[in-house]
């Protein structure tokens, strides 16, 4: 199982088509690490946490990334024992998502689990 998160914008008024400007996938094995970083809810359940647009993810992502960089050992204890979901893969994944949120602040956030 995994989380698929997309940033979507530019809805065409006539056909309804939208552009996916960013899309990423990550394993559910990182749920506990995401919870420790304070971002589980906003990533896995954005609608329930009042997250509708990419700009709303910038602050929580930035806080999580700073915390993870500052105290990696605190987060590495949540590495998956089977190797599918580690600090070493999650941190860069979050950094890429943050970059996309900054690039497309008005994009709609869609999360599928």
Question: pLDDT tens for residues 77-105?
Answer: 999 999 899 999 999 999 999 999 999 99
| pTM given for the model | 0.93
Q: Is 75 helix (H, G, I), strand (E, B) or coil?
A: helix
What's the domain count of the chain?
Answer: 1
Residue 59 backbone phi and psi in degrees, to 5? -65, -50
Across the chain, what does the average pLDDT equal? 95
**Per-residue pLDDT reduced to its tens digit, 52-69:** 999 999 999 999 999 999
Domain residue limits at 90:
2-112
| Percent of the chain's residues with pLDDT above 70 | 99
């Amino acid at each position: 199982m995994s989380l698929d998160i997309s940033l979507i914008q530019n809805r065409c008024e006539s056909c309804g088509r939208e552009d996916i400007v960013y899309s990423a996938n990550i394993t559910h094995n990182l749920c506990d690490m995401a919870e420790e970083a304070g971002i589980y809810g906003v990533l896995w359940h954005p609608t329930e946490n009042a997250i509708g647009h990419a700009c709303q993810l910038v602050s929580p992502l930035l806080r999580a990334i700073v915390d993870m960089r500052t105290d990696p050992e605190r987060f590495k204890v949540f590495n998956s024992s089977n190797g599918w979901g580690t600090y070493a893969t999650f941190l860069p994944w979050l950094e890429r998502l943050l970059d996309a949120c900054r690039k497309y602040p008005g994009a709609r956030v869609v999360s599928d689990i």
